[in-house]
Amino acid sequence: MIEIIIIASLICTTIHVMTFEGMIGFFVRVGGDMYLPKMIRKPLYECLPCMASIWGTLAVVFLMEDYGIYLHKAVASVLAVCGLNAIIASVLNLPNNDGQDPDSFDESAWGL
C-alpha cells in the first residue's frame, strides 16, 4: 500500500510541475487560467495537495487491483497521498495554490 501512495503522489507531483512556466504542460495552465474557475483548476494542476482528490484517486483505483486493495484502504490511500503531496510541496518550496511564494506568508493577516 505504501508503494501505491508513493506512486500516486509522484504522479500528482509530475503533473503539477509539468504546468510550470517553461515546462511541456505550461499550455494547460495558460488555457486553464483563462477558462476554468479556481475551484476546478486547483485539483487539476494548481494545488499539489488538492490534486490527490482527482489524480491520486485515479492512480489508486488503477493500481489497487494489482495489489488487492479494498475500498476502505483505497480511501485511506488517497488521504495519505494528499498528506504526502503537502510534504513534497513544502520540502520543494513550491508556490502555494495562490501562486505566491510560501516564504512570503503575511502573519498580520492571521493576527500572529
- Which residue, chain included where needed, has cell 503537502? 86
Tens digits of pLDDT across the chain (112 residues):
888 899 999 999 999 999 988 899 899 999 999 999 988 998 998 888 999 999 988 888 888 777 776 777 888 889 999 999 989 988 887 765 555 554 544 445 444 4
The pTM is what?
A: 0.76
- The whole-angstrom separation of Cα 7 and Cα 27 is 25
